Amino acid sequence: MNPLPWTKWGLITLAVVIVTLSLLYTHMLANKIAKEERKKVTLWAKSVQFVANSDDMGSGFSFVVEELIKSNTSVPAILVDENGNVLSYDNIQIPKRVSEKDKNNWVKSQISRFEKNNPPIEITNQELKSKFYVYYTDSTLLQQLRWFPYMQLALIIAFVLLGYISFNNAKKAQENRIWVGLAKETAHQLGTPISGLIAWVELLKNELGESHYSIEEINKDVERLKIIVERFSKIGSTPELKLENVVDVLENMAQYTLQRLSQRKRIALHFDFSHIDKNLQIYISRPLFEWVIENLVKNAVDAIPPDKKGEISIVAGVEHHILWIEVRDNGKGIPVKNFKRIFKPGFTTKQRGWGLGLSLTKRIIEQYHKGKIYVKDSVVGVGTILRIELPLRIEN
């Protein structure tokens, strides 16, 4: 995997710092509010207890105590005696289905839940020589505050993912436009010299005769150029898939490619179709699929050192309604770290090369034929196996 530019690492680090600081600050703030709520509940409980046990209070003092009781408007609290009897409760939403006589029992059933959230507050009445206990839970505000950083983190992650997906889609769309424009311009530029070559071939036929060896070979290359133009013209548009005999396509394209490559290398080409019906037909775009096989054979040839006897095998088979095709060579091999990188535009290990062949191959197999291509196995110094998998039926 290519290292991210320092700017991306900087943005990631900044996001992590922001989230961490937000979590720490929110946690600190929540603890402060929790302490204040505990003080508020303690004061509320003492006020309730005082009112319950006082027979005579001045009007002013009574007003103060009542206001203290009313001051708790957010923290759910339950006041019970030593025997667990509910004496008072506040800020608790009781379901409508609970009858009036069952309210205390329902409130009592909430004590265990409250106790899990916060330890009870013990209040001792010196005059009555008795103890009271206050059970309470976090207010809605405090609960929301505790969840806030996680919601914030989720939103940040969602925003980053959305930005990443949008950036990737925009980048791919731009790359596609460049690919399509380059391919169609290449097809257009090749059209004129091919027309000229066809005219020259006709003149040569008149002078040398149609059956002359040179004329036949030139015709083959002109036809080959026509196929190349057709391939480039199909990039960017949905090709028409037709039923083709896959064995014929593999044999013809591989042999033609090997014949046209440099003869300085000793290379033997082998086919193994023993695991496949030789009359098997699948839906493919023949010009584009031939391009794939040509690219794979070329790469296999280039991978074989000049001083080594080359062995290239094309093997095919069918498993679980999937046609698999393997191009094997005994070349220099591919390091594991480059298994995926070799299919990226611009990646090449050759001194002369644009790094586009395997990228186009992947695009043709995955986008147009709904299949996949990958490095099945490779050992440096031993060889490589590239595998194509195609569905036997492509649903449009």
Q: Are residues 215 and 247 in the same domain?
A: no
What's the confidence (pLDDT) of residue 2? 46
Q: Are residues 77 and 190 in the same domain?
A: no
Per DSSP, the three-state class of 126 is coil
What's the confidence (pLDDT) of residue 350? 65
pLDDT digits (tens, 9 = 90+) for 85-96: 887 787 888 888
Q: Are residues 254 and 233 in the same domain?
A: no
Q: Are residues 54 and 107 in the same domain?
A: yes
Choose the final residue of a domain: 175, 203, 237.
237
pLDDT digits (tens, 9 = 90+) for 133-186: 888 887 777 777 778 777 877 887 888 788 778 877 887 777 667 767 777 767
Q: Are residues 247 and 377 in the same domain?
A: yes
What's the confidence (pLDDT) of residue 58? 45
What's the confidence (pLDDT) of residue 312? 92
CB 13 within 8 A of CB 5: no
Alpha carbons within 13 A on the beta-carbon side of 35: 5
Q: Are residues 257 and 383 in the same domain?
A: yes
> What gap in Å lies between CA 101 and CA 99, rounded to an integer?
6
Inside any domain, residue 122: yes
CATH code: domain of residue 245: 3.30.565.10
pLDDT digits (tens, 9 = 90+) for 181-206: 777 767 767 777 877 888 888 888 87
End-to-end CA distance of the chain: 34
DSSP 136: E
Inside any domain, residue 156: no
Instruction: Mean pLDDT check: name the lowest of 256-265, 283-292, 314-323.
Output: 256-265
Q: Distance between alpha carbon 142 and the CA centroid of its chain, in Å?
A: 36
Q: Are residues 118 and 22 in the same domain?
A: yes
Instruction: Mean pLDDT check: name the lowest of 120-124, 125-129, 133-137, 168-172.
Output: 125-129
Q: Are residues 126 and 49 in the same domain?
A: yes
Query: What is the pLDDT confidence band of residue 3, given thresholds at 50, 70 and 90?
Result: very low
Q: Which amino acid is at 253?
A: M
Q: Are residues 200 and 218 in the same domain?
A: yes
What's the confidence (pLDDT) of residue 353? 55
Inside any domain, residue 155: no
What's the confidence (pLDDT) of residue 127? 65
CATH code: domain of residue 59: 3.30.450
Query: What is the pLDDT confidence band of residue 99, given thresholds at 50, 70 and 90?
Result: confident
Taking 3-state DSSP, the helix, strand and coil percentages for the chain, each rounded to the nearest 5, stand at 55, 20, 25
> What gap in Å lies between CA 65 and CA 56, rounded to an integer?
13
pLDDT digits (tens, 9 = 90+) for 11-61: 677 777 877 887 788 878 878 887 877 777 777 766 666 655 555 444 444
CB 267 within 8 A of CB 308: no
Q: Are residues 199 and 263 in the same domain?
A: no
Inside any domain, residue 337: yes
Name which of 342, 273, 359, 272 is nearest 303 in CA terms.
Answer: 342
**How many percent of the chain have pLDDT more than 90?**
16
Inside any domain, residue 329: yes
What's the confidence (pLDDT) of residue 376? 94
Choose the final residue of a domain: 191, 206, 237.
237
Inside any domain, residue 22: yes
Between 237 and 97, name the one with better pLDDT: 97
**How many percent of the chain have pLDDT more than 70?**
81
| Structural domain boundaries, residue 207 | 164-237
CA distances to 238, 239, 309 from 266, rounded to whole Å, are 39, 36, 5
Q: Residue 377 forms beta bridges with which residues? A: 385
CA distances to 39, 157, 328 from 64, rounded to whole Å, are 17, 50, 91
Inside any domain, residue 396: no
Mean pLDDT, rounded, for 5-10: 63
Choose the final residue of a domain: 237, 259, 288.
237
Domain count, the chain: 3
Instruction: Mean pLDDT check: name the lowest of 79-93, 220-234, 278-292.
Output: 220-234
> What gap in Å lies between CA 278 and CA 16, rounded to an integer?
58
Inside any domain, residue 149: no
Q: Are residues 258 and 387 in the same domain?
A: yes
Long-range contacts of 257-263 (CB under 8 A, 24+ apart): 257/293, 257/294, 257/297, 257/298, 258/297, 258/301, 258/312, 261/298, 261/301, 262/301
Supply the mean pLDDT for the chain.
Answer: 78
Q: Are residues 244 and 386 in the same domain?
A: yes
What's the confidence (pLDDT) of residue 60? 43
pLDDT digits (tens, 9 = 90+) for 336-391: 988 888 888 766 766 555 557 788 889 889 988 999 999 999 999 899 999 999 99
pLDDT digits (tens, 9 = 90+) for 50-79: 655 555 444 444 444 445 445 566 778 888
